[in-house]
Structure 1
Amino acid sequence: MVKYAILCEKASAAKNFAAALGGMQGNFEGNSYVIVAGSGHLLTLVEPEEMVDESMADKYSSWSPNEMPWDSSKLSWKKRPIVYKGMDGKKRSRATDLAKLKKNTMDAEIMVIATDVDPSGEGELLAWEIIDAINWKRPVYRMYFSDEAAPSIHKSFREMKDVSDKNKDGDYVKAEARNRFDYLSMQLTRLATTYARQTGYPIKSARQGRLKSVIVRHIFEQEDAIKNYKKTPFYEVKFKDEFGNMFARKVKDDEAEGIRFLSKTDGAADMQKFGPSGITDIKKTRKSSAPGALLELSGLASILATKGYPAKEVLATYQKMYEDQVVSYPRTEDKFISNEQFNEMSSKVNQIANLVGVDTSLLTHRTARKTHVKDGGAHGANRPGSVVPKSLAELSKYGKSAEIIYTTLAKNFLAMYGEDYIYDSISARLEKYPTFVTSFTVPVELNFKRIFDTSNETKVKDDEEVEAGTKGIGTMANPFLFEGANKKPTKPSMKWIMAYLSKYNVGTGATRTGTLAEISSGKNAMLSEKKGTLKLTETGAITAIMAEGTWISSVTITKQLFDAMNDVGEFKKPTQYIIDIADKIIAHDKQLMAKNSSKLVKVLGKPKAKDTFVEKPKTEGTVNGEVIKFNEVWGGHTFTEQEKKSLLAGEVIEIEYVTAKKKKARCKGSLQKQSYKGKEFWGFKPDFSK
């Protein structure tokens, strides 16, 4: 009998596995097992200065632009147990958890990775970190499951695969490559922060990263477009029939010469060329459309944001609901559900409908739609889970947004059981002026739209949108002078930014939502979010300005980076390929950030005097064979080149400085190794006795 050690990602997952298999340890279908759990990541990469030879430690710990880019080939990629604060406020190390895991798996013959099957490979990464840390040398298998319900766990137990060589485990290789890219990109944060500080801005951290920089920069550009928007009226001849249908020439903004006029007088003169006209070429076509796609987590979050629920709240609440199998796996990148999942859920359709107030008589399309059901995914798209709550009220234990999360997700899912939306597409043109046309749709049968309309819920609506006519086409149309204006840029919102990222297929729905939650939370937030509307904080604006023109903020290059990471996971490219990309991005973006810092004052104005922070320039030299650095400024005095040489030679110099009371004074001093809060440094030390 083989004994398996089943490694879950955290205690809540271990609880579900125990419920499915019959306990934290025991026997399942003739195989012995014990279930153990981590607590998310137990290890982290050490600080840069700990990854290199001691002689290079100062260079890799420095935030000085002169010390970057790093030579990534010198990094050891060493990891250590995470140190964290417990509930009592005391610091603890995950080394204790690792020791416990090692002890509890000693008798097992095969380690089984049962962490989340995450599209980013994160579950694989944290599992292999643990396996390596406890020095496991025996076989390693992998369980692939769509959720933590018993049927899925049973199936994954029977079909587990041997992944004993981690370098052949694509999910791990992909995740480790991403992990190393993110680590190297901390240089961009250091560069942006340092350059901003040198300009006088007291920013704590101008965080840059492969998705956050894209988001912040795009929002900044939109805010800038709104700020600089100037309404420019134009005048154009249009026609209107007796039912209010508008007839106009199809024209693009850059091709409107001779049709649109900046002068009302010129527009009125153009209208003299036209008179009433009959309507012809009337066409009426009966059409249909299928229900919208199943929601990604980002789509769900953007809908809920307009109702006052921030991304952080939605993420946390959804995760708790998933752990109790009330909703499906959150971090999926699947857009479809499998035939097996469709069949499993079909028996619960009426129960779910009654719970969320959907009329079951609308749910007549009980066969699988090709637009929604397709095999090949890992978890299936976001949807209600296998456990249907007895009431919506009981969901409040998961969080404030739980009820609306479930209701929205359920209605979106139920819509695919509704019949297609039926409508008439109507078009016509003017008899005397055939370039003037109209077209609109008239609903015939709403069907699934009475349940949930995904496109309507997730669409970024234009402020100028108007409802089309529904009374049919008239018989005669008359000209009038239409007054329009150039379109005002849309306000940044959750829906707007999610639509942008989705358009370029950058990140999964969960990654987008997680990143928005991260950068809109905490004291160093780059965004504020209010009912789905996004606004940059000063920190966000500084970060965005520093990122202008950079590769890290380019949505195109970010898409290429995500694709390259997928290629690494499929062994089409080596991990070094991602590291090389990181090196190129940092070298390229450093030059731009240096230039961009000069734009801060122009765009944001001078920083407040009391908040001004200026990074002190440093001088490098040698003292007794040791390479050291020290501040070039002390007490308001900037050392001359001769004074620097004297200090490095160990000589005492005399300088004029400014006291705390803003008075000028003189003192003598020398270069000394000193200590501040337990950290040693070299600097000028005055000797006031002299």
Structure 2
Amino acid sequence: PDYKAVTDIPKFRGWKAVYNVSESEEEEATNKKLGKSADPFAYEGFPPKPAAPTMKWLMKQLAKHEVGTGATRTSIYADVTNANTRFPLLVETRGKLSMSEFGNISYQLLPGTNIGNLEMTEQLVKQMQAVGEGKADPNEFLDQMEKLVMEDMEVMKENGKKIVHKTYERNPDDYVKTTIDGKEIEFKKEFSGTVFTPEQIEALKNGETIEVQFKTKMGQEVKARGKLEEQKFKNRKFWGFKPEEYFDLDGNPVKDETEYVECEWNGNKVKFKRVFGQHRFTDEEVADLVAGRQIETVFTSKKGKPFKAKGCLQEQVFRGHKFFGFKIEEFIKEPKAKKENKQ
């Protein structure tokens, strides 16, 4: 193949002219003129490993393209990695980011769209900044944005037809088929890692209540009493064992020890967890939250690291189910302590 050879031939000796040493064979070879022949050899090069995507890396990318303020960028990061949202786009594992199933689908929908074009996004951000500063009339851009959205919807429809879905092959032996109210259904033979006995399966088919012993996520051995019912998970209906009550191995009921605060919100009676991020809201913080005000306090992450954040009460969605509780709106970065100059 064609190639280019590059060499450096010094025109002046520089420091070697005054450095009084006898020239070595190596120096003589280096100072020779470029010859007319060369011996080719294959050089195998390896590109450096790309940096793993992290929060710091993502923040630099957002800052590089002037996407929002520091607080806005932090809020964006919190939204796209929040596992409690309905469609989290990114998953953070040990500080490294990867796309969730929803993020992968979004990635496959974006090719050819305006909103997926970085230059177009920068243009929209600058237009919004101009409007916010009173330097431009918003009506100048509304028609343009509407046109972009309509174009993107059509492109996404076409991209959606090409999306590659993960195929899930399930073992039919793990399910039991039966008939309920004249309709054929199937349900899984196990609950939380415990496989039903043949007697329990027959009881479930007949609509009877059974007891199942299993381990909780915390490793505690408990029992559950329930029966076969139609349920819903992530907008998908299915039949399965549904516990009605829990109790320990001695037969004592297992109580929900979660502390809740009951209040009125928009004319409705609601309740929310008083503990969030290992922090128990004080009476003053509870009063502010119930009044719809934002509070600022220190929480503790799952890894035991304290962090400061602002948030308020909101109606939220987790795995398709609505709930009411505290939500972080902004992470607060503590200023670094200035180092004293030692003389």
TM-score (normalizing by structure 2): 0.37
Structure ranking higher on relative contact order (CA contacts 8 Å, 6+ apart): 1
Answer 1 or 2: which has greater strand percent: 2
Answer 1 or 2: which has greater helix percent: 1
